[in-house]
Amino acid sequence: MLNPEICQKARLSRDPRFDGKFFTAVKTTGIYCRPICPATTPKEENVTYFPSAIEAANAGYRPCLRCRPDSAPGSPAWKGVNTTLDRAIRLIGEGILQNDSLQLLAERLGISDRYLRQLFKKHLGISPKAYALYQQCLFAKQLLHQTNLPITQVALASGFNSVRRFNDCFQSQLSLTPSQIRKSEATKSKSLQLQLSYRPPYDWLHMHNFFMARAISNLEWCDEQSYGRTFEWLGCIGSFTAQHVKHENRFDVAIELDDVTHLKAIVNNIRRLLDLDVDIQAVEQDLQQCFADATLIKTGLRLPGTWSMFEAGIRAILGQQISVVAARNLVTTLVAELGQPIGTNQLFPLPQSIAISKLNFLKIPASRKQTLRNLAQHYMSHDAPNDPQQWLTLKGIGPWTVDYAQLRGLSDPDIYLGGDLGVKKAIGKSAHDVNPDLASPWRSYLTLQLWNQL
């Protein structure tokens, strides 16, 4: 339950650390806002607090056009209350209900569709379909604010099959029309500019250094304030560059795509790759109990992601028992030889390309080449290849490879790389005993903290 006194203090201070943790609804205007909204501060007796934007909308409030609640970092108070609900929300965010049925979603979760509806009704007060529709409308609102996409392209990118249905749903869900958001005629452009916010602190220097040390030529690019790369998503090919804007607690992201159909899922993956949605202060409070000395905690460390689980697996295999530099050189060679060209850059090789190649250009043992082909063939022959536990049946893949791939390819927050040489060195240098069990469910962040001490 939200504490009104705490929410009031956060609202009056406009502290960005509370952005996304709750929303402020004003009874006299019928509008809900982020706690950092620059509008004139309303009187407390006219204010109601909600833990999520969907609950404010469900109560009849419409989103503010100044602070744009759709741009708030995603950390609603109910997240994590129920593991199944959390997984359902993540899958809906990836667009599963745009193409598949509620029954299929329930099957993915291992529950009945009736129980799934009960979960959403209990925690959010609405159905899964209504939640998915509202998220589509919020994403469309963000595109209308921040891009030059024509209305028809916004509708398509948001998961709507027709402009008429898009207009009807947009008005019914947000009490606004697309034309009220888009006041000027848009022009066609394949380059999209979006703003992706986060709650501070965010140690960009650490993230930058991590990416820079592992950046693959023609696949990734990294400079003092930005990171970018090429990508493929369900047949959609493109690239993005994320520019860090520290004083605004956000990234300005430029995306180029040949098809906007899967734009929402792509944006969600960029958020995961940059770890923008974690409540890092809460994580660090839990981690502190693992260390007796507060100075051992480096604040703002985020999980540096990799675009896909397959890429993370291939990079992990090539990085077995060698240095970061040596692993980067091997991946660079692999991309140069098998990556599909995209302009002057290249995509990460597809499973089909690796599976049929002899990989003679890689100076590694024949057994490791076969392990690369085994993983590629696994992706070609399985319906759910991203399940890392299935990888353990493949010769040449052990627990460290699976754990590292999960940490970077899925951004799993609870992976402790106890067998990693760097982690062992950090623990050896530490004057304190480290109990990783105390860090659960944030053991991935404990791993980062230990790496940072080297």
Sequence-distant (≥ 6) Cβ neighbours of residue 59 within 8 angstroms: 25, 48, 50
437 is catalytic: no
Catalytic residue among 33, 37, 64, 290: 33
Q: For residues 405 and 389, is the Cβ–Cβ distance under 8 A?
A: no
pLDDT tens per residue, range 173-202:
888 888 888 765 444 445 789 999 998 999
Residue 338 pLDDT:
98
Residue 190 pLDDT:
52
Catalytic residue among 113, 259, 286, 420: 420
Residue 82 pLDDT:
64
Residues 264-287: what's their mean pLDDT? 91
Report whether pLDDT(109) > 50: yes
203 is catalytic: no
Chain mean position to CA 392: 26
Residues 312-330: what's their mean pLDDT? 95
Under the banding of pLDDT at 50, 70 and 90, the label for residue 392 is: very high
Residues 91-115: what's their mean pLDDT? 86
Under the banding of pLDDT at 50, 70 and 90, the label for residue 80 is: very low
Report whether pLDDT(428) > 60: yes
Rounded CA gap, 208 and 23, in Å? 31
pLDDT tens per residue, range 199-231:
899 999 999 999 999 999 999 999 999 999 999
Q: What is the pTM of this model?
A: 0.80
CA distance to 127, 279, 447, per residue, from 302 (Å)? 33, 10, 11
Domains and CATH numbers, the chain: 4-71 (3.40.10.10), 83-181 (1.10.10.60), 191-261 (3.30.310.20), 309-452 (1.10.340.30)
More confident residue, 282 or 214: 214
Q: What percent of the chain has pLDDT over 90?
A: 50
